[in-house]
Structure 1
Amino acid sequence: MCTNITLTSTNKDIFFGRTMDLNMSMFGEDSGIDLNVKLVSIPKNITIESQLKPWKSKYSVLGVCSKDTTILYDGINEYGLTGDCQVLVEATRSKTTEIEAKGKIPVMGEEFVTFVLTNFKNIQEIRNSYVDFMLTDQPFMYEGAPLQFPLHYTFIDTTGDGIVLEPVMSGGFKLYDYIDVMTNSPEYDYHTVNIRNYIGLENVGVSEKKINNTTTLQPIENGTGYGLLGIPGDYTSPSRFIRSFYYKNMLDTFESDKGINTLYSIFRPLIVPRGLEHANKEEKITDYTRYWSGYDVTNRTVYIQTGEGLAITSKELDNSSTEITYSEIKLDNYIYKTH
């Protein structure tokens, strides 16, 4: 379960953020397989050692990854192309031999964000080429075990253009125009229709009393928040999509120096606390927000906060690096203390 949102400042700078909601350990916080998440810098003009078929990176990339793997959960490249992956249970894959027999290029789903960000400069290039690729059913081997997530993908660029790619056609992709928010299943066209069911929501309260027959109704607290009365508050993906869409479109305008703060604030009601989403009564590890990441697209900078602490780690893309490097993500509760 994940959410992403894109905001644009009055200066036309773009800010992209996502929550990573998962029932697997990412920072050593739970038992079982740990995904060992770090910040990664991938330089251009190096060989990416895919488990399927290696490729050469055209562009440098900064993002969030599982260390010593080709799995990138979200990231940004030197041209500002930014993207992430999220769970889509309707996702499909095909055998590599069948993909190649169709004249298409097989890609592993877990490597797809890495593949796109190291190979494409902007959304138009992806629009021109996405039909050439299909997802293979070859599982990604991680710590000796097969790892395979059903996924769909969001990408944006510095022009404000954005797309959603969903591999629902035997590994082939449907492309949708991105409306600046994304969650999980169902497929994207369901969500874009479902938002119409909440068309009456607004960011204006009800300040005047109403008389129904013989009863006078006085709004509570002068009607603050009444415009959003009825907005779904649960953590299902359709509900998170509704909240994300209307919150994003009701925000006050903001200038670029407030971009990351504004982006972070809109995610606060979307961050899932630990313990609310057990898959079943026997499952002790819950689906919750393992991390939030926010990208200042103009400045090619990522900010990341984990569910383990209040600290935020920031890193700017280094376009001069010549080898893959990893940076630790702070897990502590570092707080400035005053006396």
Structure 2
Amino acid sequence: MCTGLSIQSQEGKWFFGRNMDLAYYFNQAVMIIPRNYQYQDRVSGNMVTNKRAIIGMGTVIDNHPLLADAMNEVGLACAGLNFEGYAYFEKEPIEGKNNIAPYDFIQWVLSNHETVEEVKRGIEHLELVDCPINENTPVSMLHWMVTDKTGKAIVVEKTKDRLTVHDNLIGVLTNNPTFDWHLTNLNEYLHLTPISPKETKWGKQTLKALGIGAGTLGIPGDFASVSRFVRIAYIRTHMPKIEGDIHSITQFFHMLDYVKMVKGGVLTDDGLEDGTTYSSCMDQEKGVYYYKTYENNRINAIDMHKEQLEGTNLKIFKYLTNQDFNYQN
């Protein structure tokens, strides 16, 4: 249960991020993966050297970074979102293909490419293989949104049928069903508008809106993936472009709040409370990663360009969960 979002500021800058909706923590933290950092590819067994510095949220297992959302030093960004019931990964490597595990997809994208067009060309030779990182960690069923600092975006989905790349003109992503289904479903909501309907007559009876917001009657308000897609697509479409980085980032988090999950509203099959564990926003021009957590509403910022971007060690930042109040008296 997640939501991805890309928006543009009035100055033409692009921001990308997501809500991570989970019922548990995965030892997540913001990390910087420098150029020349090495990890072992579990599919081939070969050592892989990181080519471009990366900042993002993720975890580390046996010195192997597993990224949930991230961007590289030139502003290309990617996020993986749950795609349960639809994602399918090959059981064995496919001859003649560049075979990688799904949990390495984000790092493959960001290490090897600078633009969405480059990613699309690389995917032509790519295959995703169901190869767990260890016996205790199954492969997550995901699809991905990729966007560069020109605003161009794609969605990548591997199903039983094929590996598909969708151009993403709507600038959002949630979970299953497939991305093309979500786009078709938007046609059911053509009537939605931020403008209240004008007074009209049915026969001799005069009808008028009961208040502001009547133009949005019928927008789905539940937590399901299909409904969140409609809501975030609607608010992104009608959002005015905001002037300045601070105001754009603030607006970005407000938009994610519009589709965030509050604990208690949804229970998993195991009876766990699903909630928005964290929300992120990446300034693709400046290389700054912003995030806030379920427990701490303060927006935290980490500038990758203030750190060493070449080396052999990860830089991991403390994940902040303690609420931070600003007392005024």
Measured against the shorter chain, the TM-score band is over 0.9
* 1:165 aligns to 2:156 (yes or no): yes
Partners of 1:270 and 1:244 in 2: how far apart? 7
Give ranges in structure 1 of 5+ residues lacking alignment.
27-34
The Cα shift of 1:46 comes to 2.4
Match of 1:71 in 2: 66
Q: Which amino acid aligns with 1:316?
A: D
Match of 2:237 in 1: 249
Match of 1:305 in 2: 292
The residue correspondences of 1:77-156 to structure 2 (distance < 5 A) are: 77-89=72-84, 90-97=86-93, 99=94, 101=95, 103-141=96-134, 145-156=136-147
Q: For each residue in 1:111-160, what CA deviation from the matched residue of structure 2 results, as whole angstroms up to 9, or x when unmatched?
A: 2112211121111111111021111111222xx51322111011100111
Q: Is the 8 A contact 1:110 1:148 kept in 2?
A: yes
Task: Determine helix, strand or coil for the equivalent of 1:146.
Answer: coil
Task: Determine helix, strand or coil for the equivalent of 1:289.
Answer: strand
Task: Determine helix, strand or coil for the equivalent of 2:120.
Answer: helix
Match of 2:19 in 1: 19
Give ranges in structure 2 of 5+ residues lacking alignment.
none
Q: Which amino acid aligns with 2:92?
A: T
Q: Which amino acid aligns with 2:179?
A: Y
The Cα shift of 1:96 comes to 3.0
**Runs of 4+ off more than 6 Å:** none
For normalisation by structure 1, the TM-score amounts to 0.89
* 1:320 aligns to 2:315 (yes or no): no
Match of 2:222 in 1: 234
The Cα shift of 1:51 comes to 3.0
Which stretch has the larger CA shift, 290-299 or 305-314?
A: 305-314
Partners of 2:50 and 2:92 in 1: how far apart? 22
Partners of 1:128 and 1:5 in 2: how far apart? 23
For normalisation by structure 2, the TM-score amounts to 0.92
Match of 1:31 in 2: none
* 1:265 aligns to 2:254 (yes or no): yes
Task: Determine helix, strand or coil for the equivalent of 1:70.
Answer: strand
Partners of 1:169 and 1:91 in 2: how far apart? 7
Match of 1:335 in 2: 325
Match of 1:277 in 2: 266
Partners of 1:312 and 1:271 in 2: how far apart? 15
Q: Which amino acid aligns with 2:239?
A: L
Partners of 2:287 and 2:248 in 1: how far apart? 13
Q: Is the 8 A contact 1:278 1:285 kept in 2?
A: yes
Identity among equivalent positions (%) equals: 26
Task: Determine helix, strand or coil for the equivalent of 1:238.
Answer: helix
Task: Determine helix, strand or coil for the equivalent of 2:159.
Answer: strand
The residue correspondences of 1:134-213 to structure 2 (distance < 5 A) are: 134-141=127-134, 145-169=136-160, 172-179=162-169, 180-206=171-197, 208-213=198-203
Q: Is the 8 A contact 1:38 1:67 kept in 2?
A: no
Partners of 1:120 and 1:205 in 2: how far apart? 45
Q: Is the 8 A contact 1:271 1:289 kept in 2?
A: yes
Partners of 1:300 and 1:17 in 2: how far apart? 13
The Cα shift of 1:209 comes to 4.0
Q: For each residue in 1:205-258, what CA deviation from the matched residue of structure 2 results, as whole angstroms up to 9, or x when unmatched?
A: 23x5444335444432xx311111110111111111111111001012211331
The Cα shift of 1:169 comes to 4.4
Task: Determine helix, strand or coil for the equivalent of 2:58.
Answer: strand
Match of 1:43 in 2: 34
